[in-house]
């Protein structure tokens, strides 16, 4: 079965909230690719924490990388909303690969495009867009989670034509398999959070190593690592955006990341609703389908409302974040909106999956079931890219600034 498209009318009039024909085609193409190519990999990825090494190249060959990057650098030349639709379509069928996709395409490749110089773009983006290389972002450190900037201990000092990096990063999506990493380090300790710079690090640079691959509760096929830099020598030409300019890169990048996590939640929730409807129609108890029981119908209705509300908020936020200029994030309405969107999407996704497991009963509690796999994915989205609590602080802080301006 398929989930009805949002915003359709019985007389076939388009809704102002529906995707236009071009955007709907992007979502449909990603959905088909996810169902045909990525879904068959999902069970083994979860069971074995297996990384399908050829998957990224095939995704690249199919044109699903470099969504927001111009064609001259190997990208698809689309907007952020289109990138979100690709992610949504993939997340329906293989949320682990979808997470690796967004870490590669948005956190790494798009960051290099938005903040790098022309030489850096031409050197790294074509291979990232083609899936020949795997990208990652290195921000979070041991002991520095929500205060990632203020507590950063990784340092970079200039040594001739190189910077020498020392420190470590943790919980890095794609870390064990990444070829290219955008890494943040302190170049001026006296400036605190404003003394941070961004660097492009290649896996073969001397002094860089993957300390350990981390075993996770969910997204098990998306590899996560602790990284170590021990006198890691990075060419000075790999400095991104200028020395001590890392804060603006981080903050605008985080707003885009938060906007892009919401469609991940949406795709997962859509699949959970679909599975739950199917189960309610086929599972027999007391001589009839459980979908005929009002309490099961109540749960399905609640799930549907969460999914459709998430869809509307997600699409609005993607559209408003799309024109975000370099350095333009980290403040104002877009900072508030992206935090609100991902906060709602993550919490709604959690609610949807909780109800989905309840509908599935004992079968939903079994580790190998698809609904259990989806359920185990939910908590990360309430933690990653700023916890729910940090998102609330951002929203309230911007609201109170607004009150002060207009008071």
Cα 290 from chain centroid (whole Å): 35
- Residue in this structure with the two tokens 């083994």, named with its chain if needed: 44
Q: How many CB atoms lie within 10 A of CB 388?
A: 17
Tokens of 158: 């200039």
Phi, psi (5° rounding) for residue 296? Answer: -70, -40
Residue 347 designated active-site: no
Secondary structure (3-state) at 363? helix
- Cα angle 67-68-73, degrees, rounded to a multiple of 5: 90
Among 36, 39, 75, 19, CA closest to 316 = 19
Phi, psi (5° rounding) for residue 120? Answer: -65, -40
d(CA 384, CA 254): 11
Report yes or no: 311 and 6 within 8 Å, Cβ to Cβ. Answer: yes
Among 48, 57, 28, 129, CA closest to 96 = 48
Residues contacting residue 313 through CB under 8 Å, at least 6 positions apart = 262, 340, 341, 344, 345
Cα 293 from chain centroid (whole Å): 37
Catalytic residue among 37, 141, 226, 257: 257
User: Given the DSSP bridges, would you call strands 162-173 and 208-214 parallel, antiparallel or unpaired?
Assistant: unpaired
User: The dihedral of CA 283, 289, 295, 299: what is its sign?
Assistant: positive
Report yes or no: 372 and 366 within 8 Å, Cβ to Cβ. Answer: yes
Checking 298-301 for CB contacts under 8 A at 24+ apart, the result is: 299/355, 299/358, 299/359, 300/273, 300/276, 300/359
Among 89, 98, 102, CA closest to 271 = 89
User: What single-letter DSSP state applies at residue 195?
Assistant: G
Among all residues, which ones are annotated catalytic? 257
């Amino acid at each position: 079965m398929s989930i009805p498209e949002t915003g359709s009318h019985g007389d076939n009039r388009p809704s102002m909230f529906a995707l236009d024909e071009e955007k709907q085609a992007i979502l449909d193409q990603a959905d088909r690719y996810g169902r045909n190519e990525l879904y068959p990999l999902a069970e083994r990825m979860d069971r074995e924490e297996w990384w399908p090494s050829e998957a990224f190249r095939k995704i690249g060959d199919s044109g699903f990388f470099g969504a927001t990057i111009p064609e001259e650098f190997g990208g698809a030349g689309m907007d952020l909303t289109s990138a979100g639709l690709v992610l949504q379509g993939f997340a329906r069928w293989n949320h682990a690969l979808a997470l690796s996709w967004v870490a590669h395409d948005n956190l790494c490749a798009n960051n290099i495009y938005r903040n790098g110089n022309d030489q850096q773009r031409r050197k790294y983006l074509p291979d990232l867009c083609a899936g020949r290389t795997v990208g990652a972002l290195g921000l979070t450190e041991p002991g520095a989670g929500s205060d990632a900037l203020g507590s950063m201990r990784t340092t970079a000092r200039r040594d001739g034509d190189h910077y020498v990096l020392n420190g470590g990063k943790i919980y890095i999506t794609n870390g064990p398999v990444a070829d290219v990493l955008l890494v943040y380090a302190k170049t001026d300790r006296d400036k605190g959070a404003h003394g941070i710079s961004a660097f492009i690090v290649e896996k073969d640079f001397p002094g860089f190593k993957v300390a350990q691959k981390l075993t996770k509760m969910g997204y098990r096929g998306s590899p996560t690592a602790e990284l170590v830099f021990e006198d890691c020598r990075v060419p000075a030409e790999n400095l991104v955006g200028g020395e001590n300019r890392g804060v603006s890169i981080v903050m605008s990048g985080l707003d885009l990341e938060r906007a892009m996590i919401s469609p991940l939640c949406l795709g997962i929730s859509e699949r959970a609703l679909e599975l739950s409807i199917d189960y309610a129609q086929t599972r027999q108890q007391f001589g009839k389908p459980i979908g005929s029981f009002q309490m099961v119908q109540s749960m399905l209705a609640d799930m549907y409302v969460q999914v459709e509300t998430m869809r509307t908020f997600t699409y609005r936020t993607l559209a408003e974040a799309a024109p975000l200029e370099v350095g333009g994030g980290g403040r104002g309405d877009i900072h508030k909106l992206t935090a609100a969107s991902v906060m709602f999407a993550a919490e709604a996704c959690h609610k949807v999956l909780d109800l989905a497991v309840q509908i599935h009963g004992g079968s939903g509690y079994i580790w190998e079931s698809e609904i259990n796999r989806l359920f185990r994915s939910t908590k990360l989205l309430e933690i990653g890219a700023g916890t729910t609590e940090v998102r609330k602080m951002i929203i309230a802080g911007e609201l109170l600034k607004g009150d002060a301006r207009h008071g």
